[in-house]
Structure 1
Amino acid sequence: MPRLDSCVLAGIVLLSSCYYLTSATPLTSLLHNKRNTDTAVPQGNAGSEVEEVPQNGEMEPQPYTPDAFPPCVSVEYLTVLKDRFATQIDRNNDGRATFEEMRRHLQDYNPNVRDAAVAGFIARRDENGDGVIDFVPEYVKNVITPDYSVENAREWFNLDNTNGDEFVTRDELMSIARHIGTPEEQAAAQVSGYYLSNDKNGDDKLDWDEYKVIYGQ
């Protein structure tokens, strides 16, 4: 009965994640993150989007309203997240993102990412203090719960600013999109419509003040 076993297992994971998330997070704050553990930029811009079922390599979410999501996620959605977690981060598929796995993943965004930044990225999401990001609940919670903090905005600014010049440019964003597998046409639309819509002086790049608006700062 392998199908029944997998369904039961998925149900247990769903119930455990629902219990954890609903006990800690109000309904109106549940929002799918645009990043992979990340890895995530919350909705802070009227033009941002949240997708109902995320696809590998996609950078941006789809349009959302505060009550768009139920207080827990479906088994189908968890299955998609688990596949993405295993494909992009957890290469040995043990349900945990280690330091080495996370460093390799963050290097897709910024090949110059420092070990201290990787450790800080993990620490901000590692709620049980075991030094890794567990799929449930830490990864799942990070993906569907928005983080509007300045710390999160700065963390992603530093990752997107790959040459360290304190500007996030169109070229940097397009390069990141290619590394994480976003189709070229879709990446170009997202970079122009989501990020560079905040380029107030029209210089085709974002300084910190322009970038942090994406996070509602």
Structure 2
Amino acid sequence: MPRLDSCVLAGIVLLSCCYHMTLGTSLKHLLQSKRNKDTAVPEGNTGSEVEVDQQIEEMEPQPYTPDAFPPCVSVEYLTVLKDRFATQIDKNNDGRATFEEMRRHLQDYNPNVRDAAVADFIARRDDNGDGIIDFVPEYVRNVITPDYSEENAKEWFNLDNTNGDDFVTRDELMTIARHIGTPEEQAKAQVSGYYLSNDKNGDDKLSWDEYKVIYGQ
């Protein structure tokens, strides 16, 4: 059987991703429209118009928000994400990140990561509760709609703080970057520009208070 071209495969995954992320909202609006029609008052009926109007108003779709409608991504970006997922996490390339695969991946960040921390990491991203992070929609959604909560910031701080001294240093960040395959110059730019730009006292490391600013905390 001929193998699918990577761009064709990415296109199929993209459609699946968009479908998963918008199905619930579309179906909800469809049902609301039907209910609006079913509960409409016939012309000339003067008994309960106000009550029905209130019901219809309550069923109106909510205004657009990024969280309600996660954006779809381009085929090119989706291909990059799929390659990253397969290279860094999903070693057997089956589109699913198991507990063992996630533990190995998180050990690239922190060799001392505990199984309980791995389980919590998965649970926070595992929408269907099967104990596995699927590439679509869970991994893609997690990347394109990042979590800026304090809980997520603390999770990554603990992973980046590999020696447990309550500071994330330049050396720790550079070591992690090398482990996950980031090119050296790109790693240096990211560590200096993205992370250590929050090093307010210039000691070449981030305290929790400095680190959490990255997540808007």
Name the TM tier (shorter chain): 0.7 to 0.9
Measure the CA separation in 2 of the matches of 1:4 and 1:27.
35
Q: Given the two structures, how large is their TM-score scaled by the length of structure 1? A: 0.74
- Structure 2 gaps, min length 5: 26-63
Shift of 1:184: 2.0
Measure the CA separation in 1 of the matches of 2:8 and 2:186.
37
**1:19 match:** 19
Q: Given the two structures, how large is their TM-score scaled by the length of structure 2? A: 0.74
Deviations 1:39-62 (A, max 9, x none): xxxxxxxxxxxxxxxxxxxxxxxx
- Structure 1 gaps, min length 5: 31-69
Shift of 1:8: 6.3
**After the TM superposition, which residues 1-217 of structure 1 pair with which residues of structure 2 at under 5 Å, given as runs?**
2=2, 10-22=10-22, 28=66, 71-217=71-217
**1:59 match:** none
Shift of 1:27: 6.5
User: Higher relative contact order by CA 8 Å / sep ≥ 6: 1 or 2?
Assistant: 1
Measure the CA separation in 2 of the matches of 1:205 and 1:6.
40
Given that residues 89 and 97 in structure 1 are in contact (C-alpha distance below 8 angstroms), is that contact kept between their aligned partners in structure 2?
A: yes
Measure the CA separation in 2 of the matches of 1:21 and 1:135.
13
Measure the CA separation in 2 of the matches of 1:117 and 1:168.
18
Given that residues 7 and 79 in structure 2 are in contact (C-alpha distance below 8 angstroms), is that contact kept between their aligned partners in structure 1?
A: no
Shift of 1:79: 2.1
CA RMSD for the aligned pairs? 2.5
Measure the CA separation in 1 of the matches of 2:152 and 2:169.
19
Identical-pair percentage: 88
Q: Which moved further from structure 2: 169-178 or 124-133?
A: 169-178
Q: 1:73 to 1:174 in 2, by over 3 A?
A: same
Larger Rg computed on CA atoms: 2
Measure the CA separation in 1 of the matches of 2:5 and 2:171.
47
Measure the CA separation in 2 of the matches of 1:190 and 1:71.
25
Q: Which moved further from structure 2: 177-186 or 96-105?
A: 177-186
